[in-house]
Structure 1
Amino acid sequence: MNMQDTWNEAAVRLDDAARERRGIAQFEPGAFDLARAYEIQRAAIERRIGRGERHVGIKLGFTSRAKMIQMGVDSLIWGLLTDAMIEEEGGLVDLARYIHPRVEPEVCFLTRKTIDGPLTALEAADRIEAVAPAMEIIDSRYLDFKFSLEDVVADNCSSAGLVVGAWSRDFDGLANAGVRLQFDGRDVQVGSTAAILGHPLRSIVQASRLLQGAGMSLPPGSLIMAGAATAAEALRPGVHVQCQIGSGAGALGRVAFLATGAGA
């Protein structure tokens, strides 16, 4: 068996775990490096595309400097989004679709021009059509939500679902806007958009560099999930989940859903 067969087997293992909603053990330490982890990630997503899903964008991870230092890395990690991951804003999210889901408050961007090379901050703003409050549902396919850096990258950076609120063209309020994640009207996480690389728009610059390194591009109409503004919270059935970004006239807005079914 060659190494490519081994990587393909890893992709199948992760894809099957997601489809069957069951946790699996971590891979052996040193089984593959970070570059191979991204190959496994893409192979697993291509299996989903083969079943009829569509690429709709990317998500960024480790947008917090503290998290980078904690994990001993000097750059972001990223995963791929498909249309099957999108949950209805204001609707019901069936936790039975997931293994041990958690939710994070985020900012989501919608591209208006192709991103096919590294961008400056000014160029990045020109590529964006709109911005919205959002939440990402993360769901590691590994048992007990424990993994190495290579493991999590291979597992599409734990990306599983996303809920996106109303789109806005007002980018002025993105800097250091207050972020509140609420369960049943009670704050469970409070933070700031400044936790996302100091300013969420910087995620577009980083995304452009990551895309170039992978030989990929994003067409107009793609989503970019900029990264978590706070720590994640475990989901449970019956809880109403809401994210509010900003306040007053300059608020970006809110996004919400009701968790149903079985879950962690």
Structure 2
Amino acid sequence: MNIAHAAHYLDDAARNAKAVEQMSTSAPFSVGDAYRIQRASIERRKQRGERTIGVKLGFTSRAKMIQMGVDSLIWGWLTDAMLEEEGAPVDLGRYIHPRVEPEVCFLTKRDIDRPLTALEAHSYLEAVAPAMEIIDSRYEAFRFSLEDVIADNCSSAGVVIGAWSRDFEGIRNAGVQMRFDGRDVQVGSTGAILGDPLRSIVQASRVVAAASVVLPAGSLIMAGAATAAVALEPGLHVQCVISGLGQAEFTTTRQA
């Protein structure tokens, strides 16, 4: 597998919002290669002026694993270009086949430079917020292997974050509703995220340490989906409500 060529292939697909064929069907590659491709693709974005602002965890809920047919936690990078303004219109023309999922987002207050224990995790956090991730696989028909999706930065494409809170205890098993135009399209619990979203901090510390990466203070950690993802289309009001924590929302458009 040519790492640079694969990174260019996926980066161009994302920039041009044009789906491409799965890479693994014609040239199988390892999970290690997949993370190398992911990092090379992110480096291309940074060279264009984007800035990494945190990480996202994927497949942290059983529902998501079933939906995507995998059984391993994965991770990818967040950049400032992925941030969508909460409450504002999101232009779906930037995406290929976008889907949305309700999440919990953490803001760190200390550098994470080693694997953390569950007892330490809380002391590394500044705040927590309801959030949604817009995922958008760059592969045709949203079909991919585990290696393909890791290489594609775990399908991460957009992030919408609600108001920040210090109520870390209240998120352990909070009700989650994702609504389109006021109608529930997914209902679940934050408990679906590793049993407790705070465990995502431990997991994030382990994966970045394994990659010899320091996650600086002020980083975002998207804990993973609380429910399965739902496809987006123009003209929707999209809302994520987490009981006791708050809500995040946006509308969808498509520019001509």
- Scaled by the length of structure 2, the TM-score of the pair is 0.96
The residue aligned with 2:130 is 133
Change (3 A) 1:15 1:162: same
Residue 245 of structure 2: aligned partner: 252
Distance (whole Å) between structure 2 residues aligned to residue 93 and residue 254 of structure 1: 17
Aligned residue runs from structure 1 range 4-153, under 5 A: 6-29=2-25, 31-65=28-62, 67-68=64-65, 71=69, 73=71, 75-153=72-150
Query: How many positions carry a matched residue from both structures?
Result: 254
- Note the C-alpha offset of 1:122: 1.4
Q: Give the secondary-structure state (helix, strand or coil) at the position aligned to 2:249.
A: strand
Looking at structure 2, the residues matched to 43 and 208 of structure 1 have their Cα atoms a distance apart, in angstroms, of 21
Question: Quick check: 1:168 aligned with 2:161?
Answer: no
**Stretch deviating more after TM superposition (59-68 or 138-147):** 59-68
The unaligned stretches of length 5 or more in structure 2 are none
Task: Note the residue ranges of structure 1 that are not aligned, 5 or more in a row.
Answer: none
**Residue by residue, what CA displacement relative to the aligned partner does 1:204-233 show, whole Å, maximum 9, x if unpaired?**
000000011100011010000000000001
d(CA) in 2 for partners of 1:39 and 1:68?
23
3-state SS of the aligned residue for 2:35? helix
Spell out, residue by residue over 1:127-150, the C-alpha distance to the aligned partner (whole angstroms, 9 max, x if none): 000000000000000000000000
CA distance in 2, matches of 1:119, 1:7: 31
Q: How far is 1:28 from its partner?
A: 3.3
Shift of 1:66: 5.8
Q: Distance in 1 between matches of 2:45 and 2:141?
A: 24
**RMSD, aligned α-carbons:** 1.5
- Residue type of the alignment partner of 2:79: T
Q: Cα distance, 1:64 vs. partner?
A: 1.6
What is the percentage of aligned positions where both structures have the same residue?
68
Deviations 1:122-178 (A, max 9, x none): 111100000000000000000000000000000000000000000001112111100
Letter in 2 for 1:211: V
Amino acid corresponding to residue 12 of structure 1 in structure 2? H
CA contact (8 A) 2:24 2:148 kept: no
Q: Secondary structure at the match of 2:158?
A: strand
> 2:207 aligns to what?
210
SS at match of 1:141: coil
Letter of the 1:258 partner, please give it: T
Q: Is the 8 A contact 1:237 1:262 kept in 2?
A: no
Letter of the structure 2 residue corresponding to residue 162 of structure 1: V
Contact 2:63–2:228 (8 Å) recurs in 1: no
Distance 1:48 1:37 in 2: 17
The AA in structure 2 aligned to 1:235 is: L
